[in-house]
């Protein structure tokens, strides 16, 4: 999520020295199973055009903190692009292996060379552990031992089922 351009005056204020501590309301999310609100660990925003990263840590005392990459020594600034590239290409391979991971990484790199950040790569079907657990629990008792044997043979770890 990019920082809006009209906030440039706010971004120029150095928060690192503790002189200014604007407060930001932390995002909360609903946990469907429990219906309880949960506070996010951290809210994050960055403006890649300006090299500015903003964050607020839940339970912290500093409020919104602003980190301006231009204030870093040159040797650290030189390391950031390679680190970001490592992170971006690593994200592109998330949940993939072998040829699929390689293909996803290459497609992401090629898209970035063309100036495109977001890349849609078709991934194979996925199954949530909670769905497997629910399916297992719905099985008739006489089939559960066979299902458990199969899950273990496949090397799958399903909390509440294979542990």
Residue by residue, DSSP assigns 127-158 as --HHHHHHHHHHS-HHHHHHHHHHHHHTT---
* Per-residue model confidence (pLDDT) at position 2: 37
Residues in the chain: 163
In terms of C-beta density within 10 A (0-12 exposed, 13-18 middle, 19 or more buried), how is residue 65 classed? middle
* Per-residue model confidence (pLDDT) at position 85: 92
- Burial of 66-85, coded b for 16+ CB within 10 Å and e otherwise, reads bebeeeeeeeeeeeeeeeee
Q: By the 8 A CB rule, do 52 and 69 touch? A: yes
* Per-residue model confidence (pLDDT) at position 38: 57
CA end-to-end span of the chain? 39
φ, ψ at 121 (rounded to 5°): -120, 125
What string of pLDDT tens digits covers the 163 residues of the chain?
A: 333 333 333 333 333 334 333 333 444 444 445 555 555 688 888 777 777 888 888 888 898 899 998 899 999 999 988 998 999 999 888 888 888 889 999 999 999 999 998 888 766 677 778 888 888 889 999 998 898 898 888 888 888 888 7
Beta bridge partners of 44: 55
Angstrom distance (rounded) from CA 145 to CA 151: 10
């Amino acid at each position: 999520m990019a920082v809006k351009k009209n906030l440039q005056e706010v971004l120029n204020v150095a928060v690192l020295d503790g002189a200014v501590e604007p407060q930001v309301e932390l995002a909360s999310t609903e946990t469907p199973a429990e219906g309880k609100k949960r506070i996010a660990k951290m809210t994050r925003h960055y403006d890649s055009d300006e090299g500015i990263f903003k964050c607020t840590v839940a339970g912290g005392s500093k409020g919104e903190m602003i980190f301006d990459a231009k204030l870093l020594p040159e040797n650290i600034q030189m390391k950031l692009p390679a680190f970001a590239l490592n992170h971006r290409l690593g994200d592109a391979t998330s949940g993939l292996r072998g040829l699929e991971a390689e293909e996803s990484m290459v497609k992401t790199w090629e898209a970035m060379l063309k100036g495109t950040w977001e890349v849609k790569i078709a991934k194979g079907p996925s199954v949530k552990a909670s769905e497997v657990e629910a399916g297992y629990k719905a099985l008739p008792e006489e089939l559960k031992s066979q299902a458990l044997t199969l899950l273990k043979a496949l090397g799958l770890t399903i909390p509440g089922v294979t542990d």
